[in-house]
């Protein structure tokens, strides 16, 4: 299982595309704790919220970054925080879609997060019950077709983030 810097290197080494399916209602990320508390307190968010440098580091090199977040309304505090940052990710070049299971019935998706790199490698994400990332397993090549289908189903049913956010607010 890959974690930490070893998992982070995947974002430097993929060639052309990275896709993520997100399924949790909260993620427990140490690096976000202070920012999350500030968000809940209504304080201004840091400048990188307007153009995410992590996403930009990939898209500036011509790489495509996309995600679909499967969630259920009403949003948790964490999801309100995460989704509020998405416009900066989009400004940096990420393509983000939302599937809200409170309003859509989508069948055929897994109940777990994964990353798909270059349509060639799949990493299943593992989390504690509180949403703390514990690592990712590289799945065998035989499972690639299954996860390509998951990606295609998610993208076919996802509402573009801007449309979702406008309808919600």
Structure confidence by residue, pLDDT tens digits, 131-166: 999 999 999 999 999 999 999 999 999 999 999 999
Whether 147 and 126 have beta carbons less than 8 Å apart is answered as no
Pairing between β-strand 64-71 and β-strand 17-22 as defined by DSSP bridges: parallel
Q: Which residue, chain included where needed, has tokens 């508390």? A: 37
- What value does the mean pLDDT take over residues 40-60? 95
Domain count along the chain: 1
Q: And the tokens for 65?
A: 């970054």
Q: Does 2 score more than 80 pLDDT?
A: yes
Give, as one character, the DSSP assignment of residue 47.
G
DSSP 8-state code for residue 120: T
What are the residues whose beta carbons fall under 8 Å from the beta carbon of 136, sequence distance 6 or more?
1, 2, 3, 7, 115, 123, 124, 125, 126
Q: Could you tell me the residue range of the domain that residue 115 belongs to?
A: 4-168
pLDDT over 80 at 10, yes or no: yes
Binned at pLDDT 50, 70 and 90, residue 108 comes out as very high
| For the chain, percent of residues with pLDDT exceeding 70 | 100
- Alpha-carbon 19 to chain mean position: 8
In the structure, what pLDDT confidence band is assigned to residue 85 with cuts at 50, 70 and 90? very high
Q: Residue 30 sits in a domain of what CATH number?
A: 3.30.870.10
**pLDDT recorded at residue 168:** 83
Signed CA dihedral, 31, 147, 124, 15: sign only = negative
| Share of residues in the chain with pLDDT > 90 (%) | 97
Cβ contacts of residue 10 below 8 Å, gap of 6+? 2, 115, 117, 123
Q: Give the contacts of 149 (CB within 8 A, at least 6 positions apart).
A: 108
Point out the least confidently predicted range of 46-50, 99-103, 109-113, 165-169: 165-169
Give the model's pLDDT for residue 42.
97
91, pLDDT greater than 90: yes
Residue 14 has pLDDT above 90, yes or no: yes
């Amino acid at each position: 299982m890959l974690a930490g810097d070893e998992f982070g290197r995947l974002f430097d080494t993929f060639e052309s595309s990275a896709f993520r399916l997100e399924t949790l209602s909260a993620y427990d990320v140490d690096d976000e704790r202070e920012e999350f508390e500030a968000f809940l307190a209504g304080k201004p968010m840091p400048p990188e919220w307007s153009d995410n440098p992590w996403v930009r580091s990939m898209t500036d090199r011509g790489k495509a970054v996309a995600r679909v977040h499967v969630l259920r309304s009403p949003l948790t505090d964490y999801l309100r925080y995460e989704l509020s940052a998405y416009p900066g990710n989009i400004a940096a070049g990420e393509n983000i879609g939302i599937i809200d299971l409170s309003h859509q019935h989508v069948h055929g998706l897994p109940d777990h997060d994964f990353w798909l790199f270059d349509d060639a490698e799949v990493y299943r994400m593992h989390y504690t019950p509180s949403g703390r990332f514990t690592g990712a397993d590289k799945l065998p090549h035989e499972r690639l077709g299954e996860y390509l289908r998951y990606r295609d189903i998610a993208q076919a049913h996802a509402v573009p983030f801007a449309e979702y956010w406008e309808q919600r607010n």
